[in-house]
Amino acid sequence: MDHGGERQVQGPPASGAPSVRASVLAVAGGLVALGLAVHHLWSAVLSLLIGGAVYYLLAPLVSLLQRWRVPRIASTFLLAGLLGAGVAAAAGYLGPRVYSEFSSLVSQLPHHLAQLEQWLVEESGVLGEGADERVQGAIDEMLQRSGGVAMDLAHRMLGVAMAASGSASSVLFGLITGFYLLLSGHEVARGIPRWIPPAHRERWVRFGRASSRVLAAYVRARVIASLFVGVSYWIAFALLGLHQALLLAVVGGLLNFIPVVGPLLAAIPALIVAAFQGIELVLGVALVMLAAQQVESLVIGPLLEGRSVRLPPVAIVLVVAAGAAVAGIPGMLLATPTAGLARTALDIFYREAWREPAG
């Protein structure tokens, strides 16, 4: 009787609420730590992001070569060499051209503003005789500052170039990290569960595997979609005769890493530059960008990403805005995958507890 009563009091093992609460708190602590790291240690976080992206992009190819009986170390060196050569070639080709187009845009800015002033005077009637004096004064002051605006953009361009050179070490460390992950990441993944207490191990192993699938799908989809968007913009803009086509295509491809919000931000400079060349070009650029985004959202995203993040567009906009408020552009880049990982954690550590028998 005593033994039976004791068993009845003990109930199921400790896989219920206390374990779930501890796991949820651990995940929440990890999210807070990630936010602090992004805010204060962005260079280190950037290296880890680049390393993870390299791993998730090349790991399937390494596995494929292994199935063809190519040793893992040989396939890793081969793919790393091809990636390094590709990055160097792209940087050597795009860097000087993008810089030249940006300098051209800055130098043409006073001319564009003069065109705007002429249009305001001759066609719109906002300036000139009979115009509101306050509006006319405000617009005149803005146009007179065109030289200062151009110089400010030049200084910003120099600052961006210096920041890019300063982050070169982070990029290099990221590539090295990705190389070592390809070599031994599978061994690290097998060894980590040994450090997790047995009572929690099963949940954390499933969380790790699910998180890896989410990140892999997200990274591959974002990289391939951004390459598609950048290349398609470049070809279409060049065919349309848009000035600074390469610069605007690179901006569009980079901003496409930010879901939903990024393409809208990329459209602003492209449409402004097109506006100085005619309304027909504005319509052409808008159609090109809309078509490319439709291909990405209806074809590339579903094929590569599927339901890995599983967030509606409204939720993505909100988490991207929150990421921007917390850590600026880095926060915007990390907001969506972080939200996907948080949802995965809730599914495994919280929602599954609903289906567990009560203790």
Q: Answer yes or no: is pLDDT of 296 > 80.
A: yes
pLDDT at residue 300 greater than cutoff 70: yes
Give start and end residues of each alpha helix (H) in the chain.
2-10, 17-40, 42-67, 72-119, 133-144, 146-166, 168-191, 198-240, 245-255, 261-275, 279-295, 301-304, 313-346, 352-354
Most confident of 9-13, 50-54, 163-167: 50-54
* Alpha-carbon gap, residue 239 to 159, rounded angstroms: 31
Are 330 and 243 spatial neighbours (Cβ–Cβ below 8 Å)? Answer: no
For 59-76, the pLDDT digits (tens) are 999 989 989 999 999 999
The predicted model gives 317-331 an average pLDDT of 81
Instruction: Write the DSSP assignment of 152-163 as a string of letters.
Output: HHHHHHHHHHHH
pLDDT of 105 > 90? The answer is no
Exposure class string for 295-322: b at 16+ Cβ within 10 A, else e: ebeeebbeebbeebbebeeeebbebbee
Give the per-residue pLDDT at 31.
Answer: 67
d(CA 146, CA 113): 7
What pLDDT is recorded for position 19?
A: 58
5-37 pLDDT, tens digit each? 444 444 444 444 555 566 667 666 776 776 666
Residue 9 tokens, joined: 């009091």
Q: Is the pTM of this model over 0.95?
A: no
- Fill in the DSSP letter of residue 167: T
